[in-house]
């Protein structure tokens, strides 16, 4: 150890080992200077990560570290905190070691933030179905992180998924549920609570003065006066009125098909969308490599790349680390001094 001051690193999870998480973590470390990345540690089996580096032909030295040794190690090697769980999954082929390794990394990352040993959590993609088959009872990271917040920070908030990019920010009000279940899951309370959290975090974390929220309708033409569905008038419109009554600059319900063109995007800071694909199709079309998944509402910062495990290209050298690198930069930006554990608790 040198005498340098302790710099809280970002805690990066491995994600699904058979996916591209290991590939893009290695590449992010290689590009750390040109991409202006803050120090991060990777929560993983170092033997597995070294094997992936070898397979990809990447000259990335690894340093097995304790979290507080990250800042010293980062300049010369990718710091890896060994979780003590050997991984045997091959690229594109998850196995029985996948789910325990993916979950242990998430648990440890949040514990490190709670203990003040990491500044923020950055997650690599998990394969939801692999975790479901192993008994994981949450739709994804977003909801699981809220549960961990309850355990470690004493409050289980409503977690809100936001996909953010310099071009567009979108929030799916309902997330990982079947499309057929969306109308029943939507409620005025859910839209209002989501809007309040988005407005609060856009001020508190992103530094906006008075965020403008565009609230999309559920149905074509936002219901066409009720002829194309009643949800917009009966659920979404009262939610917009309640948000406006709170002093939040909210407009809607707006027809979703004209919400994402160049001119429309200039009129708001975030679009609240009623279901997953209404939100994620536009942002992944406009900003696939720049967009970052941010969980709002948590007592700590969590970001993630916008994409999934990409099993089809894992271990091939074709994975692009841009979205992960954007997630690392955004996590460092959002995790200001207020996110010391004492302030977050």
Ligand X SMILES: NCC(=O)COP(=O)(O)O
Binding-site residue numbers for a divalent metal cation are 176, 221, 276
In the stretch 7-46, what mask flags binding to ligand NAI with x, by CB under 6 A?
Answer: -------------x--------------------------
Task: Identify which of residues 265 and 289 has a Cβ nearer to ligand NAI in the complex.
Answer: 289
Binding-site member from 304, 309, 322, 323 for ligand X (CB under 6 A): 304
Q: φ, ψ for residue 306 (rounded to 5)? A: -80, -10
Beta bridge partners of 214: 251, 271
Q: φ, ψ for residue 57 (rounded to 5)? A: 70, 30
Give CA–CA dist 264/258, Å, rounded: 7
In the complex, minimum distance from the CB of residue 188 to ligand X, in angstroms, rounded to a whole number: 24
Q: Is 307 in the site for ligand X (CB under 6 A)?
A: no
Sign, Cα dihedral of 113, 118, 119, 121: negative
Q: What is the DSSP letter of 250?
A: E
Binding-site member from 181, 210, 312, 345 for ligand NAI (CB under 6 A): 312
Q: Is 126 in the site for ligand NAI (CB under 6 A)?
A: yes
Binding-site member from 39, 91, 140, 297 for ligand X (CB under 6 A): 140
Give CA–CA dist 172/25, Å, rounded: 27
> How many residues sit in the footprint of ligand NAI (CB under 6 A)?
18
Contact of 191 with 235, CB cutoff 8 Å: yes
Q: Is 307 in the site for ligand NAI (CB under 6 A)?
A: yes
In the complex, minimum distance from the CB of residue 273 to ligand NAI, in angstroms, rounded to a whole number: 16
DSSP codes of every residue in 281-330: HHHHHHHTTT-EEEEESSSS-EEEESS---TTTTTTT----HHHHHHHHH
Only one of the segments 39-47, 127-135, 156-164, 186-194 lies at the binding site for ligand NAI (rule: CB under 6 A); that segment is 127-135
Site for ligand NAI in 128-157 (CB under 6 A): 128-129, 141
Only one of the segments 12-20, 88-96, 134-142, 215-223 lies at the binding site for ligand X (rule: CB under 6 A); that segment is 134-142
User: Strands, DSSP E only, in the chain?
Assistant: 10-13, 40-44, 62-64, 78-82, 120-122, 160-164, 169-172, 212-216, 249-254, 270-273, 292-296, 302-305
DSSP codes of every residue in 121-151: EE-----HHHHHHTT--SSSHHHHHHHHHHH
Q: Which does 310 bind (CB under 5 to 8 A by kind): ligand X, ligand NAI, none?
A: ligand NAI
Binding-site member from 98, 142, 149, 194 for ligand X (CB under 6 A): 142
Q: Which does 142 bind (CB under 5 to 8 A by kind): ligand NAI, ligand X, none?
A: ligand X
Give CA–CA dist 310/333, Å, rounded: 27
Using CB under 6 A as the criterion, which residues of the chain lie in contact with ligand NAI when the complex forms? 20, 125-129, 141, 293, 304, 307-310, 312-313, 319-320, 323
Using CB under 6 A as the criterion, which residues of the chain lie in contact with ligand X when the complex forms? 140-142, 280, 293, 304
């Amino acid at each position: 150890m040198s005498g340098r001051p302790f710099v809280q690193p970002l805690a990066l999870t491995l994600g699904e080992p058979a996916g591209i998480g290991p590939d893009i973590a290695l590449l992010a470390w290689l590009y750390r200077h040109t991409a202006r990345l803050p120090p991060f540690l990777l929560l993983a089996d170092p033997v597995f990560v070294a094997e992936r580096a070898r397979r990809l032909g990447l000259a990335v030295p690894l340093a097995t570290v304790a979290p507080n040794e990250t800042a010293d190690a980062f300049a010369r090697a990718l710091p890896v905190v060994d979780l003590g769980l050997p991984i045997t999954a091959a690229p594109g082929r998850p196995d029985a070691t996948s789910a325990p390794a993916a979950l242990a990394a998430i648990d440890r990352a949040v514990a490190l933030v709670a203990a003040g040993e990491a500044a923020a959590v950055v997650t690599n993609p998990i394969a939801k179905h692999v975790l479901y088959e192993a008994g994981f009872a949450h739709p994804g990271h977003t909801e699981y992180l809220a549960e961990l917040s309850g355990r470690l920070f004493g409050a289980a908030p409503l977690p809100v998924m936001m996909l953010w990019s310099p071009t567009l920010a979108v929030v799916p009000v309902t997330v990982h549920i079947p499309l057929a279940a969306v109308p029943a899951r939507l409620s005025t309370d859910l839209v209002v609570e989501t809007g309040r959290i988005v407005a609060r975090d856009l001020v508190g974390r992103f530094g906006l003065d008075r965020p403008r929220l565009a609230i999309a309708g559920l149905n074509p033409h936002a219901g066409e006066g009720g002829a194309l569905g009643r949800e917009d008038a009966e659920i979404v419109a009262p939610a917009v009125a309640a948000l406006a009554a709170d002093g939040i600059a909210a407009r809607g319900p707006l027809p979703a098909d004209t919400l994402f063109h160049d001119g429309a995007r200039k009129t708001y800071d975030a679009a609240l969308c009623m279901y997953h694909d209404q939100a994620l199709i536009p942002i992944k079309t406009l900003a696939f490599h720049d967009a970052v998944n941010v969980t709002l509402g948590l007592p700590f910062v969590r970001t993630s790349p916008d994409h999934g495990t990409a099993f089809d290209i894992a271990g091939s050298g074709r994975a692009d680390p841009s979205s992960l690198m954007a997630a690392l930069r955004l996590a460092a930006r959002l995790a200001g001094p207020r996110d010391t554990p004492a302030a977050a608790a």
